[in-house]
Amino acid sequence: MLGRKERSQLELFISGSLRQLIPDDHVLVRVERVLDLSWLRDEVADCYCLEDGRPGIDPEAAVRLMLAGLLSGIVHDRRLMREAQVNLAIRWFAGYALHEKLPDHSSLTRIRQRWGPERFKAVLSRTVKACIAARIATGEVVHLDATLIRANVSWDAIVEAHADAVLTELDSTPAPSPEVATTSKTQRICQTDPDASLGKGGRLPRVEPAYKQQTAVDTKQGVILDVEVTTGAQRRTVLLNKDHPAQLRARRRHLAWTERERILYASHRARVEGVHGEEKAWHGLARAVRRGLANMKIQAYLTAAAVNLKRLAAAVAALLLMLLPIHRQSRSCTAA
């Protein structure tokens, strides 16, 4: 026979809200206060057919599941859905009650394929606009930097191929002569993820199959304004003579720096590299979860959106703490 405590808990699970069981300072509760996805259904309406096929997953619920995983450091769909089965916070954040069946992990894969990267970039763009409206980002001073993201492949998938032969195959031109083929440079390509290419970061001991993410970070609170993902080998080299006019202008500007410019330059590494470290250590961006440039872009956009939502939630929480003493003082004056 159930005691009073057990009966109250059972009643809460049956008829009460899951929100009552989640602490107020939980990251998903804080993000829920600032997250607005009401616009999403209209954005992706053209990807669905209302008159054919089985009912689809609510687009807002799907994105909420993906964001909940990234905010919790869970990047693999299969593991995310296993965790959501028992994690009340994820269920509540995604809008699923205890008795409701969660979607299969493969449904999230199909949604990413159907929507494409640009619709997920719209999620990032909305978080940037919200941060600007909250005045935690201004765009006045922006730090730009790039980082390599290891592709989800093994070294056994890397093979060598003649660059000239690859171009010949693509252009359907006659094959090069044996003399050209034997002297042409070789490049290594990945069989399982051709979009990834070999790249080497400053701290990596060797080249690795990777993607490159360029990031624009606002200096005020570390809000990510934009990201762009390319293959790891894409680079541009500009050679300038030491007396080139551009070099001379840059030196003159450097000599004219004020204390503000020196402080901003010194903060570059802590700000933008700190954001890269946060994404990789806490939100799973150290490695591409899925193969293909489109999937890597989606992962980067959602990770940046998750970071921005944390920034926005922290700003709202700080504002509430600041207003709390004023509210208490007002109530005490009214009671008096």
The SS3 assignment for 224 reads strand
- Alpha helix segments (H runs only) across 224-292: 245-255, 259-266, 268, 274-282
The SS3 assignment for 146 reads strand
**DSSP E strand boundaries for 8-111:** none
- How far is residue 25's CA from residue 29's CA, in Å, rounded to a whole number? 7
Residue by residue, DSSP assigns 12-33 as: HHHHS-GGGGS-TTSHHHHHHT
pLDDT at residue number 124: 98
Question: How large is the angle between the packed helices 59-71 and 293-335, nearest 10 degrees?
Answer: 90
Looking at the chain, the number of H-run helices and the number of E-run strands are 15, 6
Tens of each residue's pLDDT in the chain, 336 residues: 555 555 555 555 554 678 888 999 999 999 999 999 999 999 999 988 777 766 778 999 999 999 999 999 999 999 999 999 999 999 999 999 888 899 999 999 999 999 999 999 999 999 999 999 999 999 998 999 999 999 988 766 666 554 444 445 555 545 544 443 443 445 666 677 888 888 776 665 677 888 999 999 999 999 999 999 998 666 666 676 777 788 788 788 888 888 888 888 888 888 899 999 999 999 999 999 999 999 999 999 999 999 999 999 999 988 877 776 655 555 665 655
pLDDT at residue number 32: 96
Q: Give the bridge partners for 144, in sequence order.
A: 216
What is the rounded (10 degree) CA torsion for 275, 80, 101, 85?
A: -110
- Cα–Cα nearest to 149, from 208, 189, 190, 192: 208
Under a CB-based contact definition with an 8 Å cutoff, are residues 117 and 255 in contact? no
- How far is residue 6's CA from residue 177's CA, in Å, rounded to a whole number? 82
Q: Provide the pairing of β-strand 197-199 with 186-190.
A: unpaired
pLDDT at residue number 50: 74
pLDDT at residue number 163: 44
**DSSP E strand boundaries for 171-270:** 186-190, 197-199, 208-218, 224-231
